[in-house]
Structure 1
Amino acid sequence: MKMNGRLLASSLTLFLVFFSNMVFAAASEAYKLGTGDRVKVMVYGQEDLTTEAEVAGDGTITMPLVGRVEIRGMSPQDAGDLIGRQLEQRGYLKRAHVNLLIEQYRSNTVSILGQVNHPGRIALEGPTSLTEALALAGGINDTGSERIILVNIDDEGRQSRKEFNLRELLDSSAEGRSPVTLGKGDTVYIPRADQFYVYGQVQKPGTYALDRPLNVMQALSVSGGFNPSASSSGLIIYRQQPDGEVEELEARFEDRIEDGDVLFVKESLF
C-alpha cells in the first residue's frame, strides 16, 4: 500500500516536469507583479539604464530618469511598456524598447501543509495547478491521504473550503479537463491517511493505509495472508470507542475495517 503511494507521487512529479517547459512563457506573462518581487529592467541600446529592483510596499520601483513607477498588479509585459512610455513622454528616448524580467517571485505565495515531504510556503511563478503545487512541496508523504483540502480566501476576506481527490485530479489532467488553479494566499492541507494495523500470525504484520473500503478478508490479503501458525478462526479486532475505551470484537471475514482498527490473528493451538 505504501509503495503505491510512492509510485503515484513519482508519476505525478514526472508528469509535471514533462509539461513545465511548455507552459513557462505563458505562465510568466500571466503573472501579476506584487510587493517583494525582484525584477530586472533592460532598455534596448541603453545599458546604463539597466535596473534591478524590488517592488516596494507601495507597489513601485525606482527607475533612472523617470523615478518611481507603480507596477504592482501588472504583467511583466505591461510594466515594461509603461516604463517605455514614460521614457518617451519625458523626451529621453524616441522609441523605448523595454524588457522587464522577474528574477525572484515573492509576492504570490500559497501554503502547503500537512502530510507532504516539504511543508511550508511556496511562491507561484504564474498560474499553478493544485497538483503542480503538491509537486513543488515534494509530493505527498507515506502517511498522507489522497484527500486534498483547499482553503481559499476571497478579496473580501471570506473563507471557503473545498475537498478534492488526488486520483481524480490526475484523471482530469489526463482527460484534458481544466485543472484546479491556486490563487494568492490559498492554503492546501493534506490530512493523515486513515490507517489500520495487522498483527499476530500473518506474513507481513504492520501498519497499512485505509485508502478504500476494506473488510477483514481484504485486510488479511494486504498483510500477506495467514502464516503457517495462524488460526483462521482466531480473529480479533481491537477498536477504540469515542470515550477512549478499546473494545475487543470477534471478527468475521466480511466485517468492515475502520480507521484505527487493530486486527489480530491468533496462533493455532494445533
Structure 2
Amino acid sequence: MTFRILKKFVILTLSSLCILCPGEIKSAQNEQYIVGVGDILEVNIIQPEQLQTRTTVSPGGDISIPYIGSVRAKGQTITQLQQTIQWRLANGYFKYPVVTVSLIESRSKNYTISGEVVTPGNYPLGENTTVLKAISIAGGFTRFGSSSRVKILRPRQDRPGYRQIKVDIKAVMDGDARADIVIEAGDIIVVSEGIF
C-alpha cells in the first residue's frame, strides 16, 4: 500500500517538473535581463489554472496581467517580475500560484539612427557601441551627410523628453577617441545634412 502511494507521489513530482522545466530554463537564461519599454514577455500562470499570455511593456513601463491588471515591469529583472506577479496573485486571487515569465523579444535594448545615413532605422545595441560604429553599421554617411552635424537625443531619466548631445565625428576620424561617445539603449542618433 505504501509503495503505491510512494509511486503516485514520484509520478506526480516528475510530471510537475516536466511542466515547469521549460519555463525555468528560459527564466534562468534571462534572470539577469532588465526589462525595458517595448520588450515582449510571455507570462504563464500554471496553478491553480493554466493561463498563458503575451504582453508588451508599455511606454509607461507597465504590463497588463489577467486578474491583477497593471504591473510595473520596467527596471525589474525577469526573476523580480515573476516574483512580483506571483505575490500579487497570491494576495487575493490564488492560494499557491506558480508563475513563469520569459523574454520573447528584447526591443528595449535598441537605438535608432536617422537622417543622412545609407540605412536609417532601429538597430540592436551591442556592447560598447559608439556613435561612429553605429554610423558604420547604418552604412555610413550619404553624400549629403555631415560629420560635423551629428547629435544624440538621449532619453531623460528625470522627466519626459530628450537631452541633446553634440558629437564631432570629424574629431573622432582625426584621432580623438574621447569624442566618440558610447551610445545607450533608447538613444536616437541624428545625422543632419551638411551646409553647402
Using structure 1 for the length normalisation, give the TM-score: 0.42
Pick aligned residue for 2:87 from 77, 85, 91? 85
Letter in 1 for 2:36: L
Structure 1: tracts of 5 or more residues without a match: 1-24, 173-177, 195-259, 261-270
Residue 244 of structure 1 corresponds to none
Structure-2 separation of matches of 1:46 and 1:179: 50
Residue 113 of structure 2 corresponds to 112
Letter in 2 for 1:134: I
Structure-1 separation of matches of 2:33 and 2:102: 11
Residue 41 of structure 2 corresponds to 39
Cα displacement (A) at 1:109? 6.0
Per-residue CA shift, 1:181-205, capped at 9, x if unaligned? 224353332655x9xxxxxxxxxxx
The 3 A distance-change label for structure 1 pair 81 and 127 is farther
Counterparts of residues 150-189 of structure 1 (less than 5 Å): 150-153=151-154, 154=156, 155-156=158-159, 157=161, 159-165=163-169, 167=173, 180-189=182-191
1:40–1:103: 8 Å Cα contact kept in structure 2?
no
Cα displacement (A) at 1:117? 1.7
Per-residue CA shift, 1:192-238, capped at 9, x if unaligned? 5x9xxxxxxxxxxxxxxxxxxxxxxxxxxxxxxxxxxxxxxxxxxxx
Structure-2 separation of matches of 1:90 and 1:126: 42
2:42–2:55: 8 Å Cα contact kept in structure 1?
yes
Larger RCO, structures 1/2 (Cα 8 Å, 6+ apart): 2
1:130–1:182: 8 Å Cα contact kept in structure 2?
no
The 3 A distance-change label for structure 1 pair 125 and 89 is farther
Residue 140 of structure 1 corresponds to 140
Per-residue CA shift, 1:92-151, capped at 9, x if unaligned? 25363422314362x67644123322124x265687723564355x32046356657233
Letter in 2 for 1:129: T
Greater than 6 Å deviation, 4+ residue runs? none
Q: Which has the larger radius of gyration?
A: 1
Residue 3 of structure 2 corresponds to none
Per-residue CA shift, 1:19-45, capped at 9, x if unaligned? xxxxxx78x814x422x5432223467
Counterparts of residues 11-50 of structure 1 (less than 5 Å): 29-30=33-34, 32-34=35-37, 36-43=38-45, 48-50=50-52
Residue 252 of structure 1 corresponds to none
Task: Name the SS for the 1:182 alignment partner.
Answer: coil
